[in-house]
Structure 1
Amino acid sequence: MNILITGIHGFVGSNLVMALGKEHVLYGLDIVAPEKKGVLKTFSWKDVEAGQLPVVDVIIHLAGKAHDTKNTAQAQEYFDINTGLTKKIFDFFLAFRTQKFIFFSSVKAAADFVVGDVLTEAVIPCPKGPYGESKIAAEDYILSQKEKWENRKQVYILRPCMIHGPGNKGNLNLLYNLVKKGLPWPLGDFENRRSFTSIDNLCYIIDGLIQKNVISGIYHIADDESLSTNELIEIMCNVMGKKPHIWKVNKGFMTGCARLGSVMHLPLNLERLQKLTENYVVSNAKIKAALEIDRMPVHAREGLEKTIRSFQ
């Protein structure tokens, strides 16, 4: 097939090129357009406005502004990019014979924290902050155009949780650097569960959506298994050949330290403590049912080990 990937020079885009390039003709769309092995040509966003993009079978829309954990980005930037670019490329999709549109949203568009045991597609979206709000606004725009594509085209809104793999940058790298230095992890008394998404599992899902006749809809994306932060640190240490230093400091004491950190603007504050220790388990049952599979091909632990080895 002929496939257009927006944000093709990013982490996920680069991995999709490697996964799909052998069997499909790939085009790119990005803010920069250097030559890329496996990509026939990369276009700019001005080419969308000029109607100069090739007519393709599938559009995979990755381009967006990532969640800024340092909170330095302006709110409008998220809406200009995450919502505005989605509208632009989706309007192009509607105007031409392209049959499949795969939009990368985020679980943060559904919920900043999980109420109950697991996050499913049945949740009523309640994002917090401009990142999640801009993503749900993009989702809403796609759904508002449903009468134009329903029964004619296939549209998939994907909400992956934390994606990781060789070449990614983010919170996983920060934790790795902490563990690499041999610094102790003082939050071992908190036993949380979190879902992750291996880039290999993600590429497998995208290939399935391209190849199979899957019903349009919203799908949450995650590995089959959830892991605790303590288990994650143990995995990192095993890969590095180090002994994990996990301190089970009393929860109440650590919460008190975080409360003090909020007042004194220290690295460990209440908001960060919550993010580090909260449960965030995401169900992948719907996407597996749609693809008619029982399990994802890569175990969560196996995927994380591969990612950690790439950091070395």
Structure 2
Amino acid sequence: MARAPAWDGLIKAAEKMILVTGAGGFVGTSLVCELARRRIPHRGVTRRGKNPFVIPNIDGQTDWTAALEGVDVIVHLASRAHSDGTAPLDEVQAQRNDVDAALNLARQAARSGVKRFVFISSIKVNGEATTAGQPFTAADRPDPQNSYAQAKLDSELGLFALSRDTGLEVTVIRPPLVYGPGVKANFGTMMQWIDRGIPMPLGAVNNKRSFVYVGNLVDLIIVAAEHSGAAGEVFTVSDGEDMSTTELYRRLARALGRQCWVMPVPTSLLKLGATMLGRRDVANRLIDSLQVDCSKTREILGWVPRIDVDDGLQRTARSFQQAELALDPIARSA
């Protein structure tokens, strides 16, 4: 039976101060905008800019005293990929730094009287792929396949251990691929290919993957920041509609108002070619299935996605086109 609530929780959340780390990132920017729209008191921490709370280096030694003053809830989104502005760290060490940073913040939060720590993890903690009819759930045994996923799991375990020792409430959210206005990485690359009319060899891909629109993820984060049932729990999240990579490509092309060009290349050949180019990981993300079961999230939090897939893709496409037009207004209008 679903527990009541999302709206009651949001009303109470307006009385609390929420600290958002990684406030200048893709998800963080959307979160602070939504908190402002709902008039929920919040404080964003960024690594650069004119924000009053700029912390260039977030690590295991960061002093959070000033930022934590008066804070009731922390949403931890920040992650670290470099030792400074120029020198990349070893990947494993970079992920280790993320673990140290999360636990350092949580320890100081507990001492400062913060009530809840919402940690944004990743569905990759569960693994890299699912088999037909067996989506990942929050109760599955973790199976991280790389240092990024292992670091997320180590952070989760460390936070729950600290929660048992201090009473700090910990809530973990594991999203799959997040898309929305301003998205970069592989999703942004796909939009560029579609926009330029580049054919994609995806016509024979019949997988199923879960995605989450950034607005839906942000909505869940705000609910999880207050809902009494969220304490001590791990939640998965998605838009509630799974798609094959081919279907995503076609629906995204429609949202962009572009022709959809796909070639039915056998997936075995795609994986072989990607392996020869040293990009097997990219091929796996395009070809393998990765589905998420969000029934626990619905049952405990009463949460359902507010924005459907087509609406989310339309918003994402509009943002992409506006950005492209700003970069090259003459070419786009020709």
Shorter-chain TM range is: 0.7 to 0.9
Distance 1:281 1:199, change over 3 A: same
Tell me what 2:53 maps to.
Answer: 42
Tell me what 1:248 maps to.
Answer: 264
Matched, 1:125 2:135: no
Tell me what 2:291 maps to.
Answer: 281
- The TM-score, its normalising length taken from structure 2, stands at 0.81
TM-superposed deviation, 1:81: 3.2
Quick one: higher RCO (CA 8 Å, sep 6+), 1 or 2? 2
Distance 1:115 1:55, change over 3 A: farther
TM-superposed deviation, 1:43: 4.2
Question: What SS does the aligned partner of 1:124 have?
Answer: coil
Aligned 8 A contact 1:78 1:130 in 2: no
Aligned 8 A contact 1:110 1:136 in 2: no
Aligned 8 A contact 1:5 1:62 in 2: yes
Aligned residues: percent identity?
24
Tell me what 1:292 maps to.
Answer: 302
Question: What SS does the aligned partner of 2:143 have?
Answer: coil
Looking at structure 1, the residues matched to 64 and 75 of structure 2 have their Cα atoms a distance apart, in angstroms, of 20
Tell me what 1:38 maps to.
Answer: none
Tell me what 1:91 maps to.
Answer: 107
Matched, 1:102 2:113: no
Looking at structure 1, the residues matched to 307 and 64 of structure 2 have their Cα atoms a distance apart, in angstroms, of 41
Question: What SS does the aligned partner of 2:159 have?
Answer: helix
Distance 1:153 1:234, change over 3 A: same
Aligned 8 A contact 2:127 2:145 in 1: yes
Tell me what 1:310 maps to.
Answer: 319
- The TM-score, its normalising length taken from structure 1, stands at 0.86
Question: What SS does the aligned partner of 2:138 have?
Answer: coil
Looking at structure 1, the residues matched to 187 and 136 of structure 2 have their Cα atoms a distance apart, in angstroms, of 21
Distance 1:50 1:144, change over 3 A: closer
Structure with greater proportional helix content = 2
Tell me what 1:139 maps to.
Answer: 156
Looking at structure 2, the residues matched to 78 and 123 of structure 1 have their Cα atoms a distance apart, in angstroms, of 26
Unaligned 5+ segments in structure 1 are 36-40, 67-71
**Cα RMSD, aligned residues only:** 2.2
Aligned 8 A contact 2:198 2:261 in 1: yes
Looking at structure 1, the residues matched to 209 and 28 of structure 2 have their Cα atoms a distance apart, in angstroms, of 24
Unaligned 5+ segments in structure 2 are 1-15, 82-87, 322-334
TM-superposed deviation, 1:148: 2.4
Looking at structure 1, the residues matched to 123 and 215 of structure 2 have their Cα atoms a distance apart, in angstroms, of 18
Looking at structure 2, the residues matched to 215 and 137 of structure 1 have their Cα atoms a distance apart, in angstroms, of 20
Looking at structure 1, the residues matched to 131 and 251 of structure 2 have their Cα atoms a distance apart, in angstroms, of 27
TM-superposed deviation, 1:90: 0.7
TM-superposed deviation, 1:194: 0.8
Looking at structure 1, the residues matched to 211 and 292 of structure 2 have their Cα atoms a distance apart, in angstroms, of 8
TM-superposed deviation, 1:147: 2.0
Give deviations 1:38-61, integer Å, cap 9, x for gaps: xxx314249952633313011110
